[in-house]
Structure 1
Amino acid sequence: MRTVVIGSGSWGTALAQVLQDNHQKVMVYGVAENEVNDINENHKNSKYFGDVELNPELKATTDIECVKGADIVLLAVPTIAIDPICHQINDLLEKKTIIINVSKGFHPETNERMSQVIRRCIDEDKLSSVVSLIGPSHAEEVVIRLLTTIDAISLKNEDALTVQNLFSNQYLRIYTGNDEIGSELGVAIKNVMAIASGILSGLGYQDNTRAALITRGLQEMIRYGVHFGGQQKTFMGLTGIGDLIVTCTSVHSRNFEAGYQIGKENSVENFFKNNTKTVEGVRTAKIVHRVATENGIDMPICEEVYQILYNGKLPSDCAQDLMIRDLKKEF
């Protein structure tokens, strides 16, 4: 099978290398010529991975026509770009294709999950299914072949199994699942929790606080996910607690890093003034706030992150306000 990876960033490059390591036919498509040339000529993606040596057989291109004839297209672009890139490749697809999504979040205007966006934008006669390849993973670790496990989630089990077999090897283990709603909501909302975790660390709070944040954050994820049809057991797996832990505790996490800066300065001002990276949790916090409010879902941690990001509330005040909420039973 021939796979095209859309996106020459960190995750797209790392996953393309997995396929190359597995002796699969794969091509990376990117719009940044310097990244594409770096992969082709130097066998590196220096912007994201420094001097890490990539599989020398890995190839990249700036020609979107490479999508033609592909059996699988993997979308490794920010959530905000999924809609336009799907419209772009729709005219190039020549047969029913498996579309793999690795982005974690929502459409910024419609609130759709990524699988919903893809099904809306890709013609039915060109789409075999959507497979979400998601879970606790940092590209920086996968690219140097550290042991990692993630999920291939799809409503079409046959395609999930295809993706599982293509990507699994001695350092990357893929499990399959079909709870698309729970899995996609879990990996999206955990980005908001990662911002909260970073904020608390920046404020100087340590292990006790982070444990509380992760535990109570998981309850919010479950509450939100089950409300919209997700299965509670999903949140006990890789796309729930697994992704929540790795994102709330790792310096590789952009969401944690953003939160840490905000907490360190006890202000969001400089973050918005200077940030140049995609921090999915910022947009997700706004969407979750709106949807939770409309549906009467209690999301106190997400609410405080929203207040910090969009209403300028001091992070230190938010931390204290969470502690003095009305006392209640845990479950």
Structure 2
Amino acid sequence: MVEKIAVLGAGSWGSMLANVLVENGNEVRLWSYKKSQVEELNNQHTNEKYIKNFTYPKELVAYDDMKEAIRGVDDILFVVPAQVTRETAKKVNNILKELDMKVNIIHGSKGIEQKTYKRMSEVLSEEIDDQYCKSISVISGPSQAESVAKHDITLVTTASENIKDAEHVQSLFINDYFRVYTNDDIIGVEIGAALKNIIAIGAGALYGLGYGDNAKAALMTRGLAEISRLGTSFGANPLTFTGLSGFGDVIVTATSSDSRNWRAGYQLGKGETLDEIVENMGMVIEGIATAEAAYELSKQRGIDMPITTAIYKVLHKEITIDDAIYQLMHRKGRAELD
């Protein structure tokens, strides 16, 4: 079934999800607030800052006018940074009200809102009125945009409280290289998607310091245990964290140099300052804000998250990376499955 879809956010992941949707025969409008980026996408069919040496199909049309991008669509896919999702959703709600439209809302953002510590589906449901929103779903999983551009085999999950809504998203994206599974645990999928970025920063830092595969495996495994503890405290299904949006996403993000969170950690391990890294990256590093949100949530809920705490303290210059590793390795022994 061909649908009209507005994709909000033309970074690496937003533009690549838009590309998948176009390849599946949908009419896609890709919105960016940057006029120069819109002109590049429409004229050269490239997006060089985010995906190098890739040509987008001519059928993908970019807009810098959000209202025109949204007019008449069936679905709106948010792929903007987590910290601007609320602001963007408010604008979308006003446009839907003006145009008297009701749409399916999907998001592919991987983060938690600072200060409120809300998941993205919670932010969207708060800001988009029920009369304009048919459903809210998330799409997530181990999926580097650069690999999707090469048609590497990619498996992801889409989740919604109503499985029928997840199946709708599945039908939009699934094809012969991009396989989509469904899940009704939107809490677990969103928490896994957000918190794996923290672990990726830690993995990059270990590599930058010269540590090897044993250390990487230890961090990923125990990091996932922390994610699961926090997620289940909110009612998430623990099995979700063994799946694509949990274990799968941790593997990709914590081992790939294409991950900006991994690259940020690597540069920290090499001695660069966080301010230098943020300035030079040129793209949002979601794990930085998420580390603060997860740290505060762990304190509020009494959840033991020593790796998250250590990474948060390193990012906020409370301890050095070497001190963080020493403290983690000298914690009192405990049972693995506690």
Could you tell me the TM-score, scaled by structure 2's length? Answer: 0.95
Q: What is the 5 A alignment of 1:274-285?
A: 274-285=280-291
Distance 1:232 1:288 in 2: 17
Q: Give, in angstroms, the shift of residue 276 of structure 1.
A: 3.6
Counterparts of 1:317 and 1:51, CA distance in 2: 41
In structure 2, the residue matched to 1:195 is 201
CA contact (8 A) 2:278 2:285 kept: no
Question: Structure 2 matches for 1:58-73, cutoff 5 A?
Answer: 58-65=60-67, 66-73=69-76
Q: Which amino acid aligns with 2:141?
A: G
**Structure 2 residue aligned with 1:314, among 302, 316, 320?**
320
Identity of aligned residues (%): 40
Structure 2 counterpart SS, 1:110: coil
Query: Is contact 2:89–2:128 with CA below 8 Å preserved after alignment?
Result: yes
| Superposed CA offset, 1:171-227 (max 9, x none) | 101101110111111111111111111111111101010011111111111111111
The aligned runs of 1:80-229 (5 Å cut-off) are 80-93=83-96, 94-229=100-235
Contact 1:73 1:100 in 2 (8 A): yes
What is the letter of the counterpart of residue 70 of structure 2?
Answer: V
Q: Note the residue ranges of structure 1 that are not aligned, 5 or more in a row.
A: none
Q: Residue 268 of structure 1 contacts residue 312 of structure 1 at CA under 8 Å; is this kept in 2?
A: no
1:207-252 Cα shifts (integer Å, max 9, x gaps): 0100111111111111111111111100010111001110100001
Q: Distance in 2 between matches of 1:207 and 1:245?
A: 12
Shift of 1:139: 1.0
What is aligned with 1:33? 35
CA deviation vs aligned residue, 1:132-159 (integer Å, no higher than 9, x gap): 0111111111122211111110112222
Pairwise CA distance, 1:44: 1.2
Two-structure CA RMSD over aligned residues (Å): 1.4
CA distance in 1, matches of 2:51, 2:195: 27
1:46-96 deviations in whole A, cap 9, x for unaligned? Answer: 121222122222111111122122110001100011101111011222332
Aligned residue pairs: how many?
331
- CA distance, structure 2, for counterparts of residue 193 and residue 89 of structure 1: 32
Q: How far apart are residue 37 of structure 1 and its match? A: 1.3
Letter aligned with residue 29 of structure 2: M
Residue 128 to residue 270, structure 1, CA distance change in 2 (3 Å): same
Does the 8 Å CA contact 1:234/1:240 hold for their aligned counterparts? yes
Q: Residue 83 of structure 1 aligns to which amino acid in structure 2?
A: R
Counterpart in 2 of 1:52?
A: 54
TM-superposed deviation, 1:101? 0.6
Aligned residue for 1:47, secondary structure, equals coil
321, 324, 328: which one aligns with 2:330: 324
In structure 1, the residue corresponding to 2:297 is in which secondary structure? helix
Which letter does structure 2 place at the counterpart of 1:71? Answer: D
1:77 is matched with 80
1:43 is aligned, of 24, 42, 45, to 45
Instruction: State the alpha-carbon separation in 2 of the partners of residues 149 and 23 from structure 1.
Output: 20
TM-score (norm 1): 0.97
